[in-house]
Amino acid sequence: MTTQELEAELSALSLSAWDEDVALELGHILVSLARERDLPVVIDIRDANRCFFHAALPGSAAQNDNWARRKSNLALYTGKASLVVKQVFAAKGRTLADEGLSEADHAMSGGAVPVKLGAAMVAVATVSGLPDVEDHRLVVEALGQLARQGG
């Protein structure tokens, strides 16, 4: 997908409410989707101050936790999905270092998607363990399901 297509897809995923219960529901949707498909992923939902939900499913590894943290940090810093940032940076020939960001704390990899309440980003939902486009798609699928349920 192009960057514009990704951004258009993400703009349609705004939720109508956000609190700990909605975060838990989003986490449960992600776990359910991952378990149905036997996906070895880590799921992390957080804002800049706290973790709302975290799960490490069978087959995932400690490195997936670190990737999830780093991808979440990039999305929280930029306010954009990490896959969008990756594509924009690649198109401009930019690196994390060019932006003053460390690779130890940020990852240029898809899978971290802003959770939006209207236009405001209230959290980031992240999946790590699959190729980054698949990580991204799983989060988008779960957010879409939650939005359709009235979340």
Q: Of 45, 112, 103, which is closest to residue 72 (Cα–Cα)?
A: 112
Domain ranges of the chain: 3-148
Which residues, other chains included, contact 63 with Cβ-Cβ below 8 Å and sequence gap of 6+? none
| pLDDT band at 145; cut points 50, 70, 90 | very high
Specify the fold of 3-148: Beta-Lactamase (3.30.450)
Residue 8's pLDDT is 73
More confident: 96 or 149: 96
Q: What is the pTM of this model?
A: 0.94
Q: Report the SS3 class of residue 2.
A: coil
First vs last Cα of the chain: how many Å apart?
26
User: What does the pLDDT look like over 63-79, one tens digit per residue?
Assistant: 999 999 999 999 999 99
Q: How many Cα atoms occupy the beta-carbon half-sphere of 99 within 13 Å?
A: 20
Residue 13's pLDDT is 84
What does residue 144 show for φ and ψ, rounded to 5 degrees? -60, -45
